Amino acid sequence: EVQLVESGGGLVQPGRSLRLSCTASGFTFGDYAVSWVRQAPGQGLEWLGFVRSKSYGGTSEYAASVRGRFIISRDDSKNIAYLQMNSLRTEDTALYYCARDPSRTSHCNWFDPWGQGTLVTVSS
């Protein structure tokens, strides 16, 4: 079964850092790009960025709202994608999902599947 599982969420103070992990199974992780998407409580979906597969350089792109604060990376030997979140703000409180792009291109496309999400709460 193709599966993604996020971990690393929790309560963190404003200004601090947190690293989320997205562990993949059931497919050749290195062949696919992975995105991070968040959903604030009761709100819609916000794409944060993605990391390409190594076939396309393993480079990342970000939404303006997190560029310079968040870093997306991957370790294909462990089948894990990471979201390093720095200088956290109260407005970063959300459920954070990772999702696979099944298209296997350099372009970020649609998402399938999604993980169940990990909750990040930024509060003093």
Binding residues for another protein (CB under 8 A): 35, 44-47, 61-64, 97, 99, 107-117
CA angle (61 as vertex; 49, 34 as ends), nearest 5: 50
Output the smallest distance, CB 16 to another protein, in A.
25
Whether 85 contacts 69, CB under 8 Å: yes
Q: In terms of CB distance, is 17 or 116 closer to another protein? A: 116
Output the smallest distance, CB 40 to another protein, in A.
12
Q: In terms of CB distance, is 15 or 40 closer to another protein? A: 40
The residue type found at 33 is: A
Q: In terms of CB distance, is 16 or 23 closer to another protein? A: 23
Residue 31 vs residues 15, 27, 52: alpha-carbon distances, Å = 35, 9, 9
Output the smallest distance, CB 62 to another protein, in A.
8
Output the smallest distance, CB 75 to another protein, in A.
23
CA angle (65 as vertex; 61, 96 as ends), nearest 5: 80
